[in-house]
């Protein structure tokens, strides 16, 4: 909103320059965002809060300036104004208000025999400064008054009003009105209109009618200045998608006492430029006086809220300068009754007065103090686990990333089975539902990098997904890891340690060692195992007894290279390579790995308790076994077979080498297994080790394994 | 010819001084000749060794043989000499260059100027980093973290925060609504929270005063993406309620936290503003931590503060009594308690703090960007 500095100065004799004025206004909450032009053409770009319609005009800002500098504020000159006593509800033009609650006051003026022509230069210039287009002296007069004192008014060509009367009434459903902007609008019974005997001629408080507007031929004018119910104006403006300077002010609350002066001001401007004569007294239909009850202001409350010790004289000065009336009441100096000026509909409570005092005194003048506090500081229940998981992921080289919470319907269907929360007013079709899964977001971010030739990418995202469950919305917490195959491959080659005592079984790594053509692709199995290692490293932060893995993963994962993770039998995550179909559909140039964790499940379990375990006092012994197995025997079977022997001294049992091709027949593979044995009581004797080795070899043979020399 | 300790002809002060000077000169000369670590050790041993070192010899030859009447004088002279020699020996160093090369000629060596092979470390997201850091500052002041849902009801996002239905202030929020809610009463209709402020109400419903909470969270608005807007962004909200919380407390708390976060030299300034749920309401500015508040940098005008020397950081105010009315039954009687609240954009703070010029960079997952915080 633009205002002219010179115009503000019409009403208060300011000694400060425009820069300083802008700063000081900003400091009291009537913010000047920027200044352009200089001298008489200096324009302030204003930012005025929605609660301050009174300051959205030059006189209102001048009032603030007068209060800041403690200067007198000039009266708005209304030369032709008759005294209020002369105002009459009948007068020169009959007005019937059928909805007094929605139109508590309607003032009007009649001018006859005027000429419509361009506005005088100074009027036109001032409007142009504010980016307002001059139209004609009569229309410009209403516009000028709006910017001068903030009161919207309207002018009708009186000869075009049928039946020589105006009726303020609800529109009829389906009734038509062509508004000033040339749009024909279909009204509803919720719209309030100004109508003549036959039809609506204005959308109350929003925009006048096209058919009754001022034209070159206009001679006789009816000036309207009403006070409209803010909510009605707002609803009508929204319903019809119109936002005007008038509706902006009416829906925030105009000055109830300004209907007559604004009428007079418009009349004065028209008469002085176009001539003609004022007919009769001002018409003023007040059907419902606006109630602005006085407010009790207690000094104790001022101090309770603001702190510090504001002097009573300063409080008095501020309120008076802003137009508030003050009556000492009760015990002198403790409590006051404050009368609210008609232009301050936003001031309804004691706290509103306190704000006026604080802002005019100057926020920065209040002393900075720190409050005492007796409460405790608590962390959210899941903060420790989230932090632990984040730290682990960062340490593993994953960069924390954030993707938008919106996805497309298609992605929601492809990547989850949840019931979506759909947006009423989405930004685009690609962002039309709340994400039910983090997968599309992660894939999008990985693809962004691939499309920029960045192949070494590891990302993690922690956040929520959104879905409807049993008629209510839920926001499950998720963690998602994503990595390009080359990033996974670049990981330090893992020792692939499989701790038989606690970590549980690992899925076989050897099985997927061949590409489509059957050629050996040893790195695929290694990739999968590296990525699986990251998943295990995260999950080892969580309290559990046993981790197991099966192949029940979603369809967007590669069927042979993905696994579901069960923690003590409960699914908590799925991970693996992204399916070829997804890769092709999204035109991804590289293989991608992805892991999704159900954080709610992990939160419920809590962090692993850290407990010391005594260090072994006796040396460990390692034994290797080389076997050939059929492809359908997975490592899990070997691990289970060894565990079933219940040899407490077996501390570790893991594959160290897997080999296919060469001398190994098709459909079989060679595996080198390493066992670590250790006792807490003694150094292990050779006979015992031999005995256990024999049992293990036997168990592996039972699985169809053939021991190699 | 290496220096040998001469016998003193007589114990006159002059003889002693000249012998001492000679000794210091020789020691310094030998010190300059030291080239290797081995030579340094030999030099040190020659002069300081307790058995047969030069100083020990001087002790024996000059002091023990001194006549009784000259002992005092000689003792002082020898002590001074000792100190001087020790100084010279201590400052003698083995010059590294040539001898070091020589040392390595025979052993395996690596090019230590080759860059290290670094295992990748992941980085915290800059917005999360800024948010966690800011929350930590408040936690040190006794604020606890609180959280709440992203998909909110009209009641928590608007009504209980003193945005009545159809209030113009709702227009400023560009709300994204959940579809299919028309059949519900307005207050139950779902929307994406436009600010983290609903968590104020949710927390006050659960906890009685006094409370101090800081609320980090994701919010959404119907803002098409550009360099400074994103339909999804992050806020950090705060609320303190107790008996006797004042506007001065609000200012003091925020002034302290901003100094902790941006550096102790920043100043804060508060300007009147309007938010339905606070009164009085304010916008807080910090003096520009980029140009130091001058509005200009060596490279030209300071853009982050638009040459004003001040940067708007957050909105705040005293909790509006109308807000307390919604949770009055849980001990929030506006006649007895008061409070302050504030809210800031974590993304904006990260943009400012790290000098990022496009908010979209935060949501692309581009590793070239993310790795900068590793």
**Mean pLDDT confidence for A117-137:** 94
* Cβ-based contacts of B127 with chain A (< 8 Å): 402
CA nearest neighbour of A2 among A32, A38, A39: A32
Q: Is A267 helix (H, G, I), strand (E, B) or coil?
A: helix
B366 close to A (CB below 8 A): yes
Write the pLDDT tens digit of every residue in A84-115: 445 566 677 899 999 999 999 999 999 999 99
Question: Looking at the whole model, is its pTM more than 0.90?
Answer: no
Quote the CA–CA distance of A436 and A447 in Å, as a whole number: 20
B335 close to A (CB below 8 A): no
Those of residues 190-219 in B touching chain A at CB distance below 8 A are 190, 192, 210-212, 218
For residue A493, is pLDDT > 60? no
CB B132 within 8 A of CB B124: yes
Quote the CA–CA distance of A526 and A516 in Å, as a whole number: 17
* Cβ-based contacts of A358 with chain B (< 8 Å): 247, 272, 280
Q: Provide CB contacts within 8 A for A76, sequence distance 6+.
A: A11, A59, A148, A149, A261, A265
- pLDDT of amino acid A84: 47
Contact yes or no for A448 and B318 at CB 8 A: no
Write the pLDDT tens digit of every residue in B152-184: 999 999 999 999 887 777 877 789 999 999 999
Q: Is A499 helix (H, G, I), strand (E, B) or coil?
A: strand
- pLDDT of amino acid B275: 92
Contact yes or no for A358 and B321 at CB 8 A: no
Write the pLDDT tens digit of every residue in B66-79: 888 888 888 888 88
Contact yes or no for A402 and B281 at CB 8 A: no
Q: Which residue of B has its CA nearest to A424?
A: B179
User: Which H/E stretch holds residue A395?
Assistant: helix A383-395
* Cβ-based contacts of A305 with chain B (< 8 Å): 246-247, 280, 318, 338
* Cβ-based contacts of A29 with chain B (< 8 Å): 271-274
Write the pLDDT tens digit of every residue in B240-279: 999 999 999 999 999 999 999 999 999 999 999 999 999 9
**Mean pLDDT confidence for A521-540:** 86
For residue A504, is pLDDT > 60? no
Which of A51, A305, A421 lies at the smallest CB-CB distance from B246? A305
Beta strand spans in chain B (E):
144-145, 151-153, 190-192, 211-220, 232-242, 268-275, 278-287, 296-297, 300-301, 310-319, 338-345
For residue A261, is pLDDT > 70? yes
- The DSSP annotation for A7-54 comes to HHHTSS---S-HHHHHHHHHHTT-EEEEEES-GGG-EEEEE--TT-GG
User: Which H/E stretch holds residue A358?
Assistant: helix A350-361
Contact yes or no for A368 and B150 at CB 8 A: no
- pLDDT of amino acid A515: 41
Alpha carbon of A246: minimum distance to chain B alpha carbons (Å): 14
Strand B144-145 with B211-220, pairing: parallel
Chain mean pLDDT for chain A: 90
Alpha carbon of B194: minimum distance to chain A alpha carbons (Å): 14
Retrieve residue A692's tokens: 């256990």
pLDDT band of A49, cuts 50, 70, 90: confident
Write the pLDDT tens digit of every residue in A188-232: 999 999 999 999 999 999 999 999 999 999 999 999 999 999 999
Q: Which residue of B has its CA nearest to A363?
A: B270
- pLDDT of amino acid A500: 36
Residue percentage of chain A with pLDDT more than 70: 92
* Cβ-based contacts of B145 with chain A (< 8 Å): 379-380, 383
Beta strand spans in A496-648 (E):
547-550, 557-567, 570-578, 592-598, 621-630
Sheet of strand A192-195: strand arrangement: A95-97, A166-170, A192-195, A200-203, A207-208
For residue B15, is pLDDT > 50? yes
Kindly state the DSSP code that residue B176 receives in the 8-state scheme.
P
* Cβ-based contacts of B168 with chain A (< 8 Å): 50, 234, 251-252
Tell me the CATH architecture of domain A295-365. 2-Layer Sandwich (3.30)
Which of B147, B151, B363 lies at the smallest CB-CB distance from A421? B151
- The DSSP annotation for A408-474 comes to -HHHHHHH--SBP-BBSS-SSGGG-EE-S-SHHHHHHHHHHHHTTT----EEEEEEE--EEETTEEE
Q: Which residue of A has its CA nearest to B172?
A: A50
Which of B146, B231, B246 lies at the smallest CB-CB distance from A307? B246
Alpha carbon of A234: minimum distance to chain B alpha carbons (Å): 8
More confident residue, A679 or B32: A679
Pick the CATH number of A84-286 from 2.40.30.10, 3.30.2320.50, 1.10.8.80, 3.50.40.10: 3.50.40.10
Sheet of strand A706-707: strand arrangement: A650-659, A668-677, A621-630, A706-707
Judge residue B299's burial from the number of C-beta atoms within 10 Å of its C-beta, 0-12 exposed, 13-18 middle, 19 or more buried.
Answer: exposed
- Chain B interface test: which of A232, A361, A368, A492 (most B C-beta within 10 Å): A368
Contact yes or no for B121 and A394 at CB 8 A: yes
Strand A706-707 with A621-630, pairing: antiparallel
Contact yes or no for A373 and B367 at CB 8 A: no
For residue A58, is pLDDT > 90? yes
pLDDT band of A508, cuts 50, 70, 90: very low
**Mean pLDDT confidence for A498-524:** 41
- The interface pTM score, or ipTM, of the predicted complex is 0.85
Which of A27, A29, A396 lies at the smallest CB-CB distance from B122? A396
| Domains A2-69 and A295-365 alike in fold | yes
For residue A335, is pLDDT > 90? no
Report chain A's C-alpha Rg in angstroms. Answer: 41
CB A703 within 8 A of CB A641: yes
Which of A49, A423, A444 lies at the smallest CB-CB distance from B176? A423
Write the pLDDT tens digit of every residue in A342-359: 999 999 999 999 999 999
Q: Is A595 helix (H, G, I), strand (E, B) or coil?
A: strand
Q: Which residue of A has its CA nearest to B167?
A: A231
- pLDDT of amino acid A90: 60
pLDDT band of A518, cuts 50, 70, 90: very low
Alpha carbon of A332: minimum distance to chain B alpha carbons (Å): 22
- pLDDT of amino acid B98: 54
- pLDDT of amino acid B81: 87
pLDDT band of A448, cuts 50, 70, 90: very high
Write the pLDDT tens digit of every residue in A552-595: 999 999 999 999 999 999 999 999 999 999 999 999 989 999 99
CB A406 within 8 A of CB A434: yes
Contact yes or no for B365 and A459 at CB 8 A: yes
Which of B145, B244, B245 lies at the smallest CB-CB distance from A379? B145
Chain mean pLDDT for chain B: 90
B242 close to A (CB below 8 A): yes
* Cβ-based contacts of B166 with chain A (< 8 Å): 231, 234-235
Pick the CATH number of A621-707 from 2.60.40.10, 3.40.640.10, 3.40.50.300, 3.30.70.380: 3.30.70.380
Quote the CA–CA distance of B58 and B3 in Å, as a whole number: 12
* Cβ-based contacts of A310 with chain B (< 8 Å): none
> Which CATH fold topology does A2-69 show?
Phenylalanyl-tRNA Synthetase; Chain B, domain 1 (3.30.56)
- pLDDT of amino acid A89: 62
The domain segmentation of chain A, as residue ranges, is 2-69, 84-286, 295-365, 383-605, 621-707
Contact yes or no for A373 and B151 at CB 8 A: no
pLDDT band of A495, cuts 50, 70, 90: very low
Quote the CA–CA distance of B181 and A440 in Å, as a whole number: 26
pLDDT band of A517, cuts 50, 70, 90: very low
CB B263 within 8 A of CB B137: no
- pLDDT of amino acid A709: 73
B149 close to A (CB below 8 A): yes
For residue B105, is pLDDT > 70? no
Domain A383-605, CATH: 3.30.930.10
pLDDT band of B104, cuts 50, 70, 90: low
Residue percentage of chain A with pLDDT more than 90: 80
- Chain B interface test: which of A232, A424, A443 (most B C-beta within 10 Å): A424
More confident residue, B111 or A356: A356
**Mean pLDDT confidence for A116-137:** 94
Those of residues 166-195 in B touching chain A at CB distance below 8 A are 166, 168-169, 171-172, 176-181, 190, 192
Write the pLDDT tens digit of every residue in B311-368: 999 999 999 999 999 999 999 999 999 999 999 999 999 999 999 999 999 999 999 9
Phi, psi of A200 (to 5 degrees): -70, 140
> Which of A392-401, A498-507, A606-615 shows the highest mean pLDDT?
A392-401
* Cβ-based contacts of B150 with chain A (< 8 Å): 405, 464, 466, 475
**Mean pLDDT confidence for A453-459:** 95
């Amino acid at each position: 909103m633009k205002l002219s500095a010179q115009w503000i100065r019409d009403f208060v004799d300011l000694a400060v320059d425009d820069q300083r004025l802008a700063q000081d206004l900003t400091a009291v909450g009537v913010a000047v965002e920027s200044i352009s032009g200089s001298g008489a053409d200096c324009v302030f770009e204003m930012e005025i809060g929605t609660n301050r319609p009174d300051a959205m005009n030059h006189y209102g800002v001048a009032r603030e300036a007068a209060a800041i500098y403690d200067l007198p504020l000039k009266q708005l000159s209304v030369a032709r104004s008759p005294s209020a006593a002369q105002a009459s509800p009948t007068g020169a033009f009959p007005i019937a208000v059928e909805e007094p609650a929605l139109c508590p006051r309607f003032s009007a003026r009649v001018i006859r025999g005027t000429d419509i022509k361009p506005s005088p230069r100074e009027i036109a210039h001032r409007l142009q400064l504010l980016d307002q287009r001059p139209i004609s002296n009569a229309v410009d007069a209403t516009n000028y008054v709006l910017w001068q004192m903030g009161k919207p008014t309207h002018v009708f060509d009186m000869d075009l009003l049928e039946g020589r009367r105006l009726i303020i009434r609800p529109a009829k459903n389906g009734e038509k009105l062509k508004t000033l902007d040339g749009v024909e609008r279909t009204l509803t019974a919720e719209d309030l209109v100004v109508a003549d005997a036959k039809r609506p001629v204005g959308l109350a408080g929003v925009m006048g009618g096209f058919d009754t507007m001022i034209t070159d031929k206009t001679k006789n004018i009816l000036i309207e200045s009403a006070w409209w119910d803010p909510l009605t104006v707002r609803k009508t403006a929204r319903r019809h998608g119109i936002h005007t300077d008038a509706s902006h002010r009416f829906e925030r609350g105009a000055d109830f006492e300004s209907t007559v002066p604004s009428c007079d001001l418009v009349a004065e401007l028209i008469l002085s430029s176009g001539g003609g004569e004022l007919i009769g007294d001002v018409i003023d239909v007040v059907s419902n006086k606006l109630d602005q009850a006085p407010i009790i202001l207690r000094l104790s409350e001022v101090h309770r809220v603001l702190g510090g010790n504001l002097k009573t004289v300063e409080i008095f000065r501020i309120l008076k300068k802003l137009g508030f009336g003050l009556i000492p009441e009760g015990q002198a100096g403790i409590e006051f009754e404050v009368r609210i000026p008609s232009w301050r509909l936003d001031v309804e409570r004691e706290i509103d007065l306190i704000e006026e005092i604080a802002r005019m005194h100057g926020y920065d003048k209040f002393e900075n103090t720190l409050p005492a506090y007796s409460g405790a500081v608590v962390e959210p229940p899941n903060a420790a686990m989230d932090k632990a998981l984040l730290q682990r992921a960062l340490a593993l080289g994953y960069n924390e990333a954030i993707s938008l919470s919106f996805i497309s319907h298609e992605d929601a269907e492809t990547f989850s089975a949840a019931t979506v929360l759909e947006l009423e007013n989405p930004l685009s079709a690609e962002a039309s539902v709340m994400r039910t899964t983090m997968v599309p977001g992660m894939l999008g971010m990985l693809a962004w990098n691939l499309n920029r030739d960045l192949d070494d990418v590891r990302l993690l995202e922690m956040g929520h997904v959104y879905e409807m469950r049993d008629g209510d919305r839920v926001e499950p917490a998720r963690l998602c890891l994503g990595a390009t195959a080359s990033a996974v491959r670049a990981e330090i080659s893992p020792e692939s340690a499989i701790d038989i005592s606690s970590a549980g079984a690992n899925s076989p790594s050897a099985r997927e060692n061949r590409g489509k053509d059957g050629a050996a692709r040893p790195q695929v199995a290694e990739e999968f195992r590296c990525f699986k290692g990251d998943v295990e490293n995260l999950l080892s932060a969580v309290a559990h007894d046993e981790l197991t893995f099966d192949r029940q993963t979603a369809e967007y994962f590669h069927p042979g290279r993905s696994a579901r993770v069960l923690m003590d039998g409960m699914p908590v995550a799925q991970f693996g390579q992204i399916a070829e179909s997804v890769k092709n559909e999204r035109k991804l140039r590289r293989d991608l790995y992805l892991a999704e964790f159900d954080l709610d499940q992990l939160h419920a379990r809590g962090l692993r308790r850290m407990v010391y375990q005594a260090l072994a006092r006796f040396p460990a012994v390692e034994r290797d076994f080389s076997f050939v197995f059929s492809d359908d025997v997975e490592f899990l079977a070997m691990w289970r077979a060894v565990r079933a022997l219940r040899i407490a001294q077996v501390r570790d049992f893991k594959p160290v080498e897997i080999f296919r091709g060469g001398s190994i027949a098709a459909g079989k593979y060679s595996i080198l297994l390493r066992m670590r044995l250790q006792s807490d009581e003694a150094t292990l004797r050779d006979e015992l080790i031999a005995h256990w080795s024999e049992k293990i070899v036997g168990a592996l043979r039972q699985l169809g394994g053939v021991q190699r020399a | 010819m290496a220096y040998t300790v001469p016998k003193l002809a007589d114990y006159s002060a002059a003889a002693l001084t000249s012998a001492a000077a000679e000794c210091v000169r020789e020691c310094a000369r030998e010190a300059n000749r030291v080239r290797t670590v081995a030579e340094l050790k030999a030099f040190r041993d020659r002069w300081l060794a307790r058995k047969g070192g030069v100083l020990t010899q001087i002790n024996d030859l000059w002091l023990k043989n001194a006549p009784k009447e000259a002992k005092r004088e000689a003792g002082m002279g020898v002590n001074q000499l000792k100190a001087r020699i020790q100084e010279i020996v201590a400052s003698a160093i083995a010059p590294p260059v040539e001898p070091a090369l020589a040392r390595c000629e025979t052993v395996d060596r690596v090019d230590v100027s080759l860059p290290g092979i670094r295992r990748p470390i992941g980085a915290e997201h800059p917005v999360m980093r800024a948010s966690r850091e800011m929350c930590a500052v408040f936690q040190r002041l006794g604020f606890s973290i609180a959280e709440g849902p992203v998909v909110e009801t009209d009641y928590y996002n608007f009504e209980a925060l003193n945005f009545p239905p159809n209030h113009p202030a709702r227009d400023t929020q560009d709300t994204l609504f959940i579809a299919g809610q028309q059949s519900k009463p307005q207050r139950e209709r779902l929307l994406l929270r436009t600010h983290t402020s609903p968590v104020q109400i949710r927390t006050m419903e659960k906890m009685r005063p006094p409370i101090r909470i800081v609320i980090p969270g994701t919010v959404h608005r119907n803002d098409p993406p550009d360099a400074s807007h994103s339909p999804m962004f992050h806020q950090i909200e705060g609320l303190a309620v107790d008996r006797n919380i004042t506007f001065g407390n609000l200012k003091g708390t925020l002034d302290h936290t901003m100094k902790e976060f941006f550096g102790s030299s920043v100043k804060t300034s508060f300007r009147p503003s309007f938010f339905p749920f606070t009164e009085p309401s304010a916008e807080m500015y910090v003096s520009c931590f980029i140009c130091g508040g001058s509005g200009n940098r060596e490279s030209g005008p300071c853009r982050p503060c638009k040459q004003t020397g001040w940067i708007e950081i957050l909105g705040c105010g005293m909790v509006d009594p109308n807000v307390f009315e919604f949770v009055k039954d849980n001990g929030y009687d506006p006649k007895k308690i008061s409070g302050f609240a504030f809210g800031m954009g974590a993304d904006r703070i990260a943009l400012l703090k790290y000098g990022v010029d496009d908010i979209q960079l935060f949501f692309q997952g581009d590793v070239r960007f993310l790795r900068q915080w590793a």
